[in-house]
Amino acid sequence: MAMARRSGSHLLSSFRPFSLLLQPPLADAPSPAASAAVASARRALSSASALRARDEKDAARWRESMDRMRNIGISAHIDSGKTTLTERVLYYTGRIHEIHEVRGRDGVGAKMDSMDLEREKGITIQSAATYCTWKGYQVNIIDTPGHVDFTIEVERALRVLDGAILVLCSVGGVQSQSITVDRQMRRYEIPRVAFINKLDRMGADPWKVLNQARSKLRHHNAAVQVPIGLEEEFEGLVDLVEMKAYKFEGSSGQNVTAYDVPSNMADLVNEKRRELIEVVSEVDDQLAEAFLNDEPITANQLKAAIRRATVARKFIPVYMGSAFKNKGVQPLLDGVLDYLPCPLEVDNYALDQNNSEEKVLLAGTPAEPLVALAFKLEEGRFGQLTYLRIYDGVIRKGDFIYNVNTGKKIKVPRLVRMHSNEMEDIQEAHAGQIVAVFGVDCASGDTFTDGTVKYTMTSMNVPEPVMSLAVSPISKDSGGQFSKALNRFQKEDPTFRVGLDPESGQTIISGMGELHLDIYVERIKREYKVDAKVGKPRVNFRETITQRAEFDYLHKKQSGGQGQYGRVCGYVEPLPSGSGGKFEFDNMIIGQAIPSNFIPAIEKGFREACNSGSLIGHPVENIRIVLTDGASHQVDSSELAFKLAAIYAFRQCYTAAKPVILEPVMKVELKFPTEFQGTVTGDMNKRKGIIVGNEQEGDDTIVVCHVPLNNMFGYATAIRSVTQGKGEFTMEYLEHNIVSQDVQMQLVNSYKAAKGTE
């Protein structure tokens, strides 16, 4: 596929012919007309060179500005210290003037947890953006949630960032959500540095975590620091690149003191520096040459090699510290500047809608036409707040911009830079920056341009919801506010879906888990003052077929006047495993047995029929429908007749295709003291869990198992009771799998009983 990179330079080739006029005269003095032409050419060349000089000066200015910019995200497993780390970063960079803890006793809470719910529960629910300056560099930071229920917040943050910090707990190590977050970083090709946090805690072992990252995450990594002491004795760090030791003094660790490497650590430090050089040499030819020739390697050489390897995603430098104890944060910030890429070093592609979606490599400069992606929406006090990542060009307050996805032309009424929930008005922003605009109506994932190009950015990955709840407002008067809340949340969060149960007429909300839906019910109550009645959580089952079945259905109705006539013949079959699609429709009719204008109505009928299978009324997936023949009537055939024929044909052959029920299966990671192993695994077996991993970590056992989601309701209480409150678990969606025969019978019978009572 051809790649096109557009150049922002101005080539003033139109002035070249005038240079002939500037050659010295060969004979007599020139005529007045010739002199005027020469003078005019000189003026043109002079203004052209002035224009070129101005362009070069502008280009140099924005290039320097972009070189001194970093867009980073902070991601990790639950409770690894992401928000605490961001709080320290904001304090040391002067953005905030006092530190507050995530579950602070002073009632203030961390700056990036701006929602009341976040402060009460001590968790991050929404990703929050901020920016700060460190040593003359501008750093845009997005702090993301750790809970798998809010995984879309991590997805959309990583979609627009150039680099990331993966935080790992020095005691917990690489946990289930660390693996998920790392997979997301890999999907969006994000260069990253790792930060092993909580070295002050009992049982801290950074070398164990570093090896886990190599084995579980397949990281090609090495430490760039060595801790001085661990647990209660953790007091500082040795930088393996500069070969200096650092201590963090002052009430909040704000004073960093450098001194020589302690003599009792010289052997360990030399060994770890050699390991760092060896690991980087494996992926960087320039350093490998110096290393193999036994040349002394300077700090600058090593730093340049680490940067090249990190930006190329071949190496991950590992930093260490304790954000809570204010140690190691400033060197980590230096590492972000030293090793993570600026916006110009990252390749971003757009799809050219005018050229059959050909991939175009964006130049990433302010000299180009505007290309910006709306990656997150929020309902603010002043209307919709849209977060934009600008990939090309400049956006100014008052400019007209075009939404490529809807074709609408919009004026930018207000342009702001975000600092958690605070805003700072700005007049313009250029490529590489993350800003927000007010009063622009759009959806998450829309692309904006200045109208000269028709590019769209590639979309982000949105997982399917796995759990549903029936909700309704307790008071009938609050129905308007209730609908307003659901519409807003659905627009903000692509994993939150709202639907109507066609049989009961209830409003059904679907999401990524119990916590996800609980938070939204709580937000409806707090933000819209609507008390909602919540039904029992419902699992999002699916239905599918296991074998091929033929259909031949004639829909014929005569009731005076024009009747209805449509006949469809063909077969249904399961899609091959791994095909990725959920529904396929193929028209294999040869000739005009059915006029081609009725085919879309037949497909629509089959799609509608697949929305509700006859076993338990859930959507039918992984099905291919092939139309092979049919018949029509000159007068009585219509789109409605063929749509109904398709619906009845599907119902006719569905049972013969041996349908089965699919249920969501979750990957569950349990961590509990080894003494409770028998009780916990016994309870898991009762829940039909399949144990796929079991390992010891000190006094704890870590068990990984695959469990049907339907058997996991209320498990938080169950694990606490069987482990005396010492056990914990995390859960994420794995796949939909066929249920056992007894469960299928049970589900079908309850569905029929529920239908019978209506």
- Across 118-132, 137-151, 422-436, the highest mean pLDDT is recorded for 422-436
One-letter amino acid identity for 118?
E
3-class state of residue 41 by DSSP: helix
- Across 295-309, 353-367, 578-592, the highest mean pLDDT is recorded for 295-309
Higher-pLDDT residue of 441 and 286 is: 286
711 annotated as belonging to a binding site for a ligand: no
- Closest among 85, 503, 542, 142 to 331, alpha carbons compared: 85
Tell me the average pLDDT across 168-177: 86
Tell me the average pLDDT across 263-287: 92
Residue 57: is its pLDDT beyond 60? yes
Evaluate whether 148 touches 136 at the Cβ level (below 8 Å). Answer: no
- Across 118-122, 197-201, 491-495, the highest mean pLDDT is recorded for 197-201
- Compute, in degrees rounded to 10, the torsion defined by CA atoms 386, 390, 396, 399: -70
Other C-beta atoms within 10 Å of 133: how many? Answer: 12
Nearest-5° angle of CA 745, CA 747, CA 751? 115
219 annotated as belonging to a binding site for a ligand: no
Name the average pLDDT for the chain: 83
What are the DSSP E strand ranges found in 506-602? 507-511, 532-534, 538-539, 542-545, 549-557, 564-574, 583-587
User: Residue 537 — very low, low, confident or very high, per pLDDT cuts 50/70/90?
Assistant: confident
**What is the distance between the alpha carbons of residues 152 and 540, in angstroms, rounded to a whole number?**
18
Distance between start and end Cα atoms, the chain = 58
Between 152-156, 294-298, 707-711, 738-742, the lowest mean confidence (pLDDT) is in 152-156
**What is the distance between the alpha carbons of residues 731 and 714, in angstroms, rounded to a whole number?**
13
**What is the distance between the alpha carbons of residues 345 and 475, in angstroms, rounded to a whole number?**
55
Between 35-49, 629-643, 665-679, the lowest mean confidence (pLDDT) is in 35-49
pLDDT at 49: 54
434 annotated as belonging to a binding site for a ligand: no
Residue 33: is its pLDDT beyond 60? no
Pairing of strands 690-697, 659-673: unpaired
13 annotated as belonging to a binding site for a ligand: no
Between 255-259, 289-293, 363-367, 641-645, the lowest mean confidence (pLDDT) is in 363-367
78 annotated as belonging to a binding site for a ligand: yes
469 annotated as belonging to a binding site for a ligand: no
198 annotated as belonging to a binding site for a ligand: yes
3-class state of residue 440 by DSSP: coil
638 annotated as belonging to a binding site for a ligand: no
Tell me the average pLDDT across 326-355: 90
Residue 487: is its pLDDT beyond 70? yes
DSSP notation for 699-740: TEEEEEEEEEGGG-TTHHHHHHHHTTT--EEEEEEEEEEEPP
203 annotated as belonging to a binding site for a ligand: no
User: Residue 589 — very low, low, confident or very high, per pLDDT cuts 50/70/90?
Assistant: confident
CA 14 from chain center: how many Å?
Answer: 47
566 annotated as belonging to a binding site for a ligand: no
- Across 108-112, 239-243, 373-377, 488-492, the highest mean pLDDT is recorded for 239-243
pLDDT at 16: 38
User: Residue 634 — very low, low, confident or very high, per pLDDT cuts 50/70/90?
Assistant: confident
Point out which residues pair with 327 in neighbouring strands.
322
User: Residue 163 — very low, low, confident or very high, per pLDDT cuts 50/70/90?
Assistant: very high
- Closest among 412, 356, 344, 352 to 384, alpha carbons compared: 412
Structure tokens given for 171: 């005691």
97 annotated as belonging to a binding site for a ligand: no
pLDDT at 332: 94
pLDDT at 752: 86
140 annotated as belonging to a binding site for a ligand: no
pLDDT at 79: 79
Tell me the average pLDDT across 172-191: 86
334 annotated as belonging to a binding site for a ligand: no
658 annotated as belonging to a binding site for a ligand: no
What is the Cβ-side half-sphere exposure of residue 596, based on CA atoms within 13 angstroms?
A: 3
Residue 36: is its pLDDT beyond 70? no
pLDDT at 177: 79
Percent of the chain topping pLDDT 90:
29
pLDDT at 21: 33
Compute CA distances 393 → 51, 137, 370, 439, 483, whole Å.
Answer: 19, 20, 4, 21, 38
What is the Cβ-side half-sphere exposure of residue 542, based on CA atoms within 13 angstroms?
A: 20
107 annotated as belonging to a binding site for a ligand: no
Structure tokens given for 236: 């500082």
- Closest among 387, 397, 386 to 429, alpha carbons compared: 397
pLDDT at 1: 44
pLDDT at 378: 77
User: Residue 3 — very low, low, confident or very high, per pLDDT cuts 50/70/90?
Assistant: very low
pLDDT tens for 433-463 read 888 888 788 877 889 998 888 888 876 777 7
Structure tokens given for 380: 């603010």
pLDDT at 23: 42
pLDDT tens for 559-569 read 666 778 889 99
pLDDT tens for 686-722 read 999 999 988 887 788 889 999 998 888 878 778 888 8
pLDDT at 24: 43
CA 346 from chain center: how many Å?
Answer: 17
Evaluate whether 281 touches 273 at the Cβ level (below 8 Å). Answer: no
Tell me the average pLDDT across 314-341: 93
Tell me the average pLDDT across 58-66: 77
Point out which residues pair with 738 in neighbouring strands.
662
**What is the distance between the alpha carbons of residues 233 and 251, in angstroms, rounded to a whole number?**
17
Task: Give this prediction's pTM.
Answer: 0.73
Residue 379: is its pLDDT beyond 50? yes
401 annotated as belonging to a binding site for a ligand: no
443 annotated as belonging to a binding site for a ligand: no
User: Residue 18 — very low, low, confident or very high, per pLDDT cuts 50/70/90?
Assistant: very low
Percent of the chain topping pLDDT 70:
86
